[in-house]
Structure 1
Amino acid sequence: MPEAECFFWRTDTSTKLRPFNFMLTLRSVLILKRTPDHSIEDLSVEVAYPISGSFSFSVAQARRPTLDLRASVIETGPTLGQSRSELTLTIKYELATETRSHTLIPRDTRKLQSFTAECRRLKDIFTRNEFDADFSWLSLYTQENSLKSFSSPKDLRTVNIPLHAQLSPASAGLPGDDAVDISIVRENWIYNKAIEEASTGSSARLLIRTGTFNVNGKMPSQDLSPWLRPTKRDSESSGWISPLKAISPLDILSNPIDQQVTNSLGASSATLAHANLNNNATVSDPDLLVLGFQELDLSTEALLYASSTVKEDAWVEAILAGLGERGILYEKLASKQLVGMLIVAIAKKSRLSCFGDIKFSAAGAGIMGIMGNKGATAIRMSYTPLAQEISPSSIVLTFVNAHLAAFDEMVERRNFDFHDLSRRLVFDQTDELDSNSYVNTALETSRRTVGLFESDVLFWMVDLNYRIDLADGDVRELLASSPGTDNIPILLKYDQLKTAIASGKAFAEFSEHAITHMPSYRYASNTSAGSLGYDRKRKPAWTDRILHMSAPGVPVTQHSYCSHPQITMSDHRPVSADFDLNVSIVDKQRREIAASKLYRELWGVEHSSKPPKIKLQSMTLDLGKVYYKRLIRQTFSIQNDGQIPCVYRFVAADAAHPICPQWLKIDPVVGLLRPGESSTTTVTVFVDNSSASRLNIALPRLDFTLILHTALGKDHFISVTGEYQYTCFANKLTRLTRLPGPVRTLKSPNDRVPVRQPVNAPREIVMLINWLMTHVTDPNDLFNGPLEESTCMNIRECLDTGHQFPSPQPGEERGPLATAITSTLVQLLDSLVDPVVPPYLHARCLQMTSRDEAFELLDEFPPESVNVWISLTAFLHYMSLQKPPSQSSTDRVDMAERLATVFAPVLLRDDSTGLHTPVSPIGKRKFLLHFVG
């Protein structure tokens, strides 16, 4: 397409000088920008105006002194601020919703005359011929498409959706909307590739300490340092218990497919550490503290929006005082108050220059849904790493402090308020029509708002008021058990927030670190307190929470999550969490240039006359033997064998079915390749309980086909084969009792012993119990040894094949092997398709008040359950009676309680279908103790 240079000028609306080129193309005007200190090859198109009926321009005499941003004083004559007479050129283009314009200062009047004459001629041609013009080709030259992903962070709720889930529905023979899919994949690929190419290979750490504290209307009266000052062993000094510490044998291997971590683009092992202001600063000193306060003001006036900052000032002063000798290193960065809710950001003075573009938002959710006694305040800011010789790209951090409706029964209101506040908390964002050119002052800038989720990292530090769906007595008894923290995982199963997240009703996709601290609410402020200090009239709960969500390209590591019982001024205990952000340092200008070039390179794939072609390394994939809970990984390569870029994706054989079986994962599911490029696809196999329950009753031969679809091209078929190895895990109890031998020796999945043969406990359960009865004399060995997954794997193989378990050698410690056998027993019971005690009997079990009544209830158990129950409880009773020399009668009672704590939730497993209401975990434990204690 012919181009003719008309003239050049410099123009700017900020403090920087940005040179521009102005060029005329066939039926369009392009305004180009050249990055300072870069070559002419780095020109990028700022905007393109088609010369059509919507195009117009005007030349006028400047009516006021105009800031001269031309090349040099020597070249232009007048100096800055000097009164002069000059021409201005205004280009306008009328869109459906707005009029875009640029007002520019030409430096060559002759070229200006040539330009205006040519524009008139081209517009006249367009008008006379009434072209049905399609200017879509201009997107090839503009950065609007290639850089729109960088203008503001994408919505976190969208960016965390897997790419293949964002594409149109497709299956074999029904490819979907390939053109749209190409556009989606291309934008994602350009975004990641541009960051990769512009990455400096280094990163910057940003340490953030967040906190939430409901102060119950109190003014600061205690030292806040335990809450504000992390130590090297913060977890231990604040009652932190590592979630990695096993608290029972019920530590079942999770699905490793779901634990795969995607490395961020541009990240490397190199870290650019910010220079410390003080050499005595410890590595745990946060760069940024963001603290949320609730119930700062409980007065009657708090029902309305108040503007007094008296209490805010007092708490900010208390924060700086709580930082102690390190307080001099920090300074208040920003704050926002809505009546009783206050959010405060405190930054290191040496980092202040890294934070900018600070925005605020607030929304009430109290009485009538608008009053300020409940609601949220939020702060949005950009963080730009310190870097030399480049302009690093920024990330956006958003922090929310919220206080939701109280009382147990208001859970649905809390769920609603979360969504309502997420919608109403918005931030004003100013966008100029053209940020890099001189715009006439008569033109107003457009304003838009950005949402809460348009961030790279989003934190909620809140008093959400979610409670525990258990009776008050059960909660207190579980917490009072010794040690009470062992029962925290049980209580969290009934936590309303955990339930809301699991069901997707609120805070879906948010992450919360493992809770290992005691409930932070409600503590008594007078003598009406229980042994743990909680108010006798209010049920304890984890109302104070810290959650976060981050984009894939910003790795976030959480180091702590704990409450601080030392601070007792309120009926809540403050909660804190420490985060470590690894921010990749990316050259912003190089990223923009790379994105623009990549967009031009990949533009028009969907309109090309050349077909896309890919070549597979192999058309078959043999998985070999597939075992229960054994990870298998295989790879194969995909190569672009054509002349144009191609987009590929795996699709299902039928729209009603998934792409592949549940036990198999493909990574990546979708990709883009340039000509000659190849990529590696990883196939991961892992059979969990859900998959095994179906595979155990099917033929062992695994045969299926993976379908690889090339957008606007052909489908490729990959034949996958394997042989499933039957397992005793994840079966129905009725099936296990009727197996004629070890499950691995079955000739078909339908092999059964005759129905007339008496029903006994499954041989696998008996094998585990017999080994423990034979080799364990100290019941503590059931729990205290280190748990090795390889040992558990060998034990599972013995159960499936009928081979003997390994026996401890003379002088060998028995604890590790005994713990592995016990853990395998718990896993086997927990994997059963139906629990040992049917859910419809759980309520009856809790009604039993004596040992005799409990034994009578066994008559209502299914026959296969009775034998398992009797065999297992006899073993547990035997273990509880064992008396090593150091064990007292009191210890024996504690052992029975401990055994019941581990086995009761497994034997009386809650109904996952929701048909039967879950019963009290304390009641389950007491029923089992009728047989064990």
Structure 2
Amino acid sequence: MKALVTKIAALDTDQRGDEFWMAETAELSSTRQSVERGPRRRSMTDTVQPSAECQVELQAGRSINQAAIWLIRRAYISNKLRERKEQFARSKPMNIFCGTFNVNGKKEAGADIGQWLRWKRKAGGSDPDIYAIGFQEIVDLNAVNVAVTNTNSQQRSLLWRAAIQQYLDTLESKYYLVEHLPLVGVMLCVFAKEEYRSRLRNIEASKMGNKGGVAIRFMLYDSTLCFVCAHLAAHRGNVLGRNADFNSILTKVAFRAPPDVEWEFRGLERTPYGRPNMEQKGGGGVQEMPTFGIEDHDVVFWLGDLNYRIIEKVATSEVLKRVRSPAGLEYLRACDQLNLERKKGAAFADFEEGVLTFQPTYKYEVGTNHYDERPDKKLRAPAWCDRVLWRIQDPASDLVQLLSYDRAELTLSDHKPVAAVLEAQIRCIHQEAHMAAYNAVNADLAPYDDRGANLQPEISLSTQWVELGVVRYLQTTTARVRITNVGQSLAYVRFVPKLEESSPAPSWLMVEPSFALLKPGDAVDVAFTARVDSSMARALATGCAVLEEVAVLRLEQGPDYYLQVYGSYAQSAFGTPLSELVRRRAGTAEMPIGVPLEVWRLLDGVVDRGGLSGPQVAEELFASPGDPDDVATASACLDSGDEFPARCSAQSLLQVLQDLLQALPEPVVPADSIKIVERAGPNALATWPGEFLNSLPPPHHDLFIYLMAFFR
């Protein structure tokens, strides 16, 4: 549904391509995946753009935007149909096999891929209904294969496709090739049981880049599925490159849009309650867009060599030692880059994955089951490069359950193939019952449509002064306003940007829901939630921002309402300049002068918890991330002066220290000082350290020396 909100927010902005502020309607489930960023509800409304003439001014300062009314009404009907889905929709469970294998440029050459594709199902179970198989490096990624010719890729893809078909022909069920798509070294092919041939439609393949990704999508019964196979950027330290590859594929892969992307409206006949007339002035001036994306599907399966490694703080020798024990695997899972990036919301935040109970899949000595530790080869830390994840558009629906997630012991490549089998609930809609439910929802609104033609909508607000109270760093503070329809017609309300702005609210403030359709007598509680992050904390600490905002609430065919939102920020160490931290916290006999009290408290807490008692312990402390709840608690205690709870580990306190230093308006080592190190040649070791230290401002110099002495 966030796409609906995006479009409604965009109706009153210019068309510069700005990224608009979004918030979910309160009528949707607040369920979230186990990651920081919540999933987006995409919809067909993401495929229209309003024209500059979509707003029509009426008398007495009133206005109407038919495109906004259409979008809000569509969202309302969508929610009501979802509430009634048991009346017209049922689920059919299907097993989907997703496999990925980086073959390292090797040919199939008679390898027993059956041990990879063979699902160890329970007694009496059936073969998977769908096989989605992805390959990477089916040819060597050299300049000739990438830039000059695709012939080798085509030939290799045919060989691997034939090998898969040969295996599937040995199964009791009969399969046919739904679609396949090679892209230099990457290939994706999807097979389905023959019995579903008539149920699969809107089949399409798309791709992006050379090494990048390929995708195949289709509708099965009344569910839309999308399979993505990708080979992301390599090298252990290139996390940002992998994140960028993921986001590029996610946003740039496009398909031709079917008539209705949202399942709530699929197959329904057009009615008088449909899209506004594009030719009518004030009708929204909407224009159909020909494509839609990966996230517009009910379920997305993403597989491939994603190339995420163990974080660099864990030495290669340590990874090799820990990889051979269950306890060691648990430790390495906590240090897996993909898991950490998902938690941060940097990549795959809306996706789920099974627990990595198998050993890392890379890098092996070809022809063996041994990690490659040959002295004449570059030693690489083992990693779970090869993964299968999935994303549900509506997480509250629980559409997918993982049945198995494992790897196979093929020795053809320096990677091990991975396979996941998932049970997906495929939606089957009874069209007559669906239409009846749709008509019933519209019939409930029809009397107000007839009555409201000559009536001006009216609403009342519980208050126009939204007092947030005290707002603390990284803690959410919420105030609510009730909007009530006190008129006799339908009330369409939405928050809109102010003039010269592109978002209805600043980055520190979220408004939920941002729009609503209210029948006479109905009310909605709007939550204004403030959260100060590190960038906002810096702005507040330096006087560049205040916690004040005017929110504009628009009543279609009625006036605008202005809500004053304000709060007071509790002084925090986070975002405060280092010189100010030192100035306001004088040193004591125990704490060195020139070092912020907050830094001393955190490091003292690390020592009290047995941290840094040896080089190995120190390495592990920095390798393991802190517990998010404990980090939040310790951050609050740092500002309040309370003692850190005993449950807060040394890792959590070090995480808070990193957050504190990263939130400084100017880093501990300023950019000018870094340039001294960068300019220093290999023979300047005797001179540049002194020049570097002398370049640091006094508080930065003292803190740098203190940290280096502590961690040496």
TM interval, shorter chain, is 0.5 to 0.7
Three-state SS of the structure 2 residue aligned to 1:213 is strand
1:597-653 deviation line (CA, Å, top 9, x unaligned): 444635968982211111223333332322222233343432222222121011234
Structure 2 CA distance, aligned partners of 1:519 and 1:363?
30
Three-state SS of the structure 2 residue aligned to 1:648 is strand
Structure 1 CA distance, aligned partners of 2:419 and 2:532?
38
Structure 1 residues 567 and 427, CA gap change in structure 2 (3 angstroms)? farther
Q: 1:208 aligns with which of 87, 92, 96?
A: 96
For structure 1, the 5+ residue unaligned runs are 1-155, 232-277, 322-326, 384-393, 437-448, 743-757, 808-813, 877-931
- Please tell me whether residue 399 in structure 1 is matched to residue 242 in structure 2: no
Structure 2 CA distance, aligned partners of 1:875 and 1:331?
66
Kindly indicate whether structure 1 or structure 2 has the higher relative contact order, using CA contacts under 8 Å at least 6 residues apart.
2
Q: What residue number does 1:179 align with?
A: 66
- Please tell me whether residue 671 in structure 1 is matched to residue 516 in structure 2: yes
What are the equivalent positions in structure 2 for 1:696-735 lying under 5 Å apart? 696-698=541-543, 702-735=547-580
Q: 2:132 aligns with which of 282, 286, 290?
A: 290
Q: Which amino acid aligns with 1:834?
A: E
Q: What residue number does 1:569 align with?
A: 412
Structure 1 residues 681 and 362, CA gap change in structure 2 (3 angstroms)? closer
- Please tell me whether residue 838 in structure 1 is matched to residue 670 in structure 2: yes
Q: Which amino acid aligns with 1:574?
A: P
What are the equivalent positions in structure 2 for 1:861-900 lying under 5 Å apart? 861-876=696-711
Three-state SS of the structure 1 residue aligned to 2:583 is coil
Q: Which amino acid aligns with 1:192?
A: N
1:74-117 deviation line (CA, Å, top 9, x unaligned): xxxxxxxxxxxxxxxxxxxxxxxxxxxxxxxxxxxxxxxxxxxx
1:737-789 deviation line (CA, Å, top 9, x unaligned): 222579xxxxxxxxxxxxxxx97011221233334445647745995999776
Q: How many residues align?
A: 603
Structure 1 CA distance, aligned partners of 2:633 and 2:243?
47
Three-state SS of the structure 1 residue aligned to 2:413 is coil
1:852-882 deviation line (CA, Å, top 9, x unaligned): 8896443333322222222233333xxxxxx
1:155-197 deviation line (CA, Å, top 9, x unaligned): x995298899989899999988612211122223223322323
Three-state SS of the structure 1 residue aligned to 2:111 is coil
Structure 1 CA distance, aligned partners of 2:424 and 2:101?
23
Question: 1:611 touches 1:713 (CA, 8 Å); kept in 2?
Answer: yes
Q: What residue number does 1:630 align with?
A: 475
Three-state SS of the structure 1 residue aligned to 2:474 is coil
Q: What residue number does 2:596 align with?
A: 762
Question: 2:366 touches 2:414 (CA, 8 Å); kept in 1?
Answer: yes
Structure 2 CA distance, aligned partners of 1:835 and 1:546?
38
- Please tell me whether residue 159 in structure 1 is matched to residue 43 in structure 2: yes
Give, in angstroms, the shift of residue 668 of structure 1: 0.8
Three-state SS of the structure 2 residue aligned to 1:187 is helix
Question: 1:361 touches 1:427 (CA, 8 Å); kept in 2?
Answer: no
Structure 2 CA distance, aligned partners of 1:332 and 1:538?
42
- Please tell me whether residue 188 in structure 1 is matched to residue 29 in structure 2: no
Structure 2 CA distance, aligned partners of 1:659 and 1:703?
13
Give, in angstroms, the shift of residue 476 of structure 1: 6.6
- Please tell me whether residue 456 in structure 1 is matched to residue 298 in structure 2: yes
Question: 1:692 touches 1:730 (CA, 8 Å); kept in 2?
Answer: yes
Three-state SS of the structure 2 residue aligned to 1:737 is helix
Structure 1 residues 562 and 762, CA gap change in structure 2 (3 angstroms)? farther
Normalised by the length of structure 1, the TM-score is 0.51
Q: What residue number does 2:86 align with?
A: 199
Structure 2 CA distance, aligned partners of 1:775 and 1:722?
37
Q: 1:621 aligns with which of 437, 456, 466?
A: 466
Q: Which amino acid aligns with 1:290?
A: A
Q: 2:507 aligns with which of 657, 662, 671?
A: 662
Three-state SS of the structure 2 residue aligned to 1:608 is helix
Q: 1:218 aligns with which of 87, 105, 108?
A: 108
Give, in angstroms, the shift of residue 692 of structure 1: 2.0
Structure 1 CA distance, aligned partners of 2:131 and 2:257?
22
- Please tell me whether residue 828 in structure 1 is matched to residue 666 in structure 2: no
Structure 1 CA distance, aligned partners of 2:473 and 2:454?
49
Question: 1:738 touches 1:759 (CA, 8 Å); kept in 2?
Answer: no
1:414-444 deviation line (CA, Å, top 9, x unaligned): 8999599945789999xxxx999xxxxxxxx
Q: 1:592 aligns with which of 407, 432, 435?
A: 435
Q: Which amino acid aligns with 1:396?
A: T
Q: Which amino acid aligns with 1:575?
A: V
Structure 2 CA distance, aligned partners of 1:718 and 1:731?
30
- Please tell me whether residue 695 in structure 1 is matched to residue 523 in structure 2: no
Structure 1 residues 539 and 823, CA gap change in structure 2 (3 angstroms)? closer
Question: 2:489 touches 2:520 (CA, 8 Å); kept in 1?
Answer: yes
Question: 2:457 touches 2:558 (CA, 8 Å); kept in 1?
Answer: yes
Question: Cα RMSD between the aligned structures?
Answer: 6.0
Structure 2 CA distance, aligned partners of 1:591 and 1:435?
8
Structure 1 residues 571 and 824, CA gap change in structure 2 (3 angstroms)? closer
Normalised by the length of structure 2, the TM-score is 0.65
Structure 2 CA distance, aligned partners of 1:204 and 1:291?
23
Structure 2 CA distance, aligned partners of 1:568 and 1:193?
53
Q: What residue number does 1:46 align with?
A: none
What fraction of aligned residue pairs are identical, expressed as a percent?
Answer: 22
Structure 1 residues 450 and 592, CA gap change in structure 2 (3 angstroms)? farther
Structure 1 residues 532 and 668, CA gap change in structure 2 (3 angstroms)? farther
Structure 2 CA distance, aligned partners of 1:761 and 1:463?
45
- Please tell me whether residue 800 in structure 1 is matched to residue 639 in structure 2: yes
Q: Which amino acid aligns with 2:224?
A: V
Give, in angstroms, the shift of residue 727 of structure 1: 0.8
Give, in angstroms, the shift of residue 338 of structure 1: 5.4
Flag the structure with larger Rg. Answer: 1
Q: What residue number does 1:446 align with?
A: none
Question: 2:353 touches 2:390 (CA, 8 Å); kept in 1?
Answer: no
Structure 1 residues 766 and 222, CA gap change in structure 2 (3 angstroms)? same
Question: 2:631 touches 2:656 (CA, 8 Å); kept in 1?
Answer: yes
What are the equivalent positions in structure 2 for 1:355-374 lying under 5 Å apart? 356-358=199-201, 360-361=203-204
Structure 1 residues 667 and 861, CA gap change in structure 2 (3 angstroms)? same
Three-state SS of the structure 2 residue aligned to 1:684 is strand
Question: 2:180 touches 2:187 (CA, 8 Å); kept in 1?
Answer: yes
Structure 2 CA distance, aligned partners of 1:508 and 1:770?
36
Q: What residue number does 2:15 align with?
A: none
Q: What residue number does 1:345 align with?
A: 191
Question: 2:157 touches 2:187 (CA, 8 Å); kept in 1?
Answer: no
Structure 1 CA distance, aligned partners of 2:611 and 2:157?
68
Structure 1 CA distance, aligned partners of 2:76 and 2:138?
47
- Please tell me whether residue 316 in structure 1 is matched to residue 165 in structure 2: yes
